[in-house]
C-alpha cells in the first residue's frame, strides 16, 4: 500500500475511534449508567490525542507516539474505574469495563501502528 494511503487510513482510524468513543458515551455511557459523571474522564483521553497530534504537527512518527499515548490514557481509565469501585455498579462488571475500554485501546494502538508504518518508510 502506498505511504499516502496508509497515512490517510491511520488518520481515518484515529478519527473514527474518537467518534465511536464519543458516540458510545453519548448513547449509553461506557462505564456505569447513561449520563454517569465518570464518563467525563474520557474527555482527557480525547485531549491526549488532540494535544499529541498538535505537538506532532501531524507528522507520522509523532502521531504514532500520540496514538500510543492516547491508548495509554484509555488504559488508565480502566485502572481508575476499578480503583474507585465502578465495578460495583449494577451495570458495570470488571469484564465489561476491561473489555469495552480494551477495545478502544486496541483501536488507538492500531492507528498508532499504521502511523509507525508510514514513519518507517
> Residue ranges of the chain with pLDDT lower than 70?
1
3-state secondary structure 18-87: HHHHHHHHHHCCCCCCCCCHHHHHHHHHHHHHHHHHHHHCCCHHHHHHHHHHHHHHHHHHHHHHHHHCHH
State the pTM of this model. Answer: 0.94
Per the structure, the complete domain to which residue 28 belongs is given by 3-120
CA–CA separation, 58 and 11 (whole Å): 9
Q: What is the pLDDT of residue 1?
A: 64
Per the structure, the count of domains in the chain is 1
Q: What is the pLDDT of residue 68?
A: 98
Q: What is the pLDDT of residue 103?
A: 98
Amino acid at each position: 500500500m502506498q505511504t499516502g494511503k496508509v497515512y490517510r487510513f491511520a488518520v481515518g482510524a484515529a478519527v473514527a475511534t474518537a467518534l465511536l468513543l464519543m458516540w458510545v458515551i453519548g448513547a449509553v455511557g461506557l462505564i456505569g449508567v447513561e449520563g454517569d459523571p465518570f464518563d467525563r474522564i474520557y474527555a482527557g483521553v480525547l485531549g491526549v490525542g488532540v494535544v499529541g497530534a498538535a505537538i506532532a504537527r501531524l507528522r507520522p512518527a509523532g502521531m504514532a507516539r500520540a496514538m500510543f499515548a492516547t491508548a495509554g490514557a484509555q488504559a488508565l481509565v480502566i485502572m481508575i474505574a476499578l480503583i474507585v469501585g465502578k465495578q460495583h455498579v449494577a451495570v458495570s462488571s470488571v469484564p465489561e469495563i476491561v473489555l469495552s475500554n480494551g477495545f478502544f485501546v486496541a483501536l488507538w494502538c492500531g492507528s498508532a501502528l499504521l502511523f509507525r508504518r508510514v514513519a518507517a518508510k
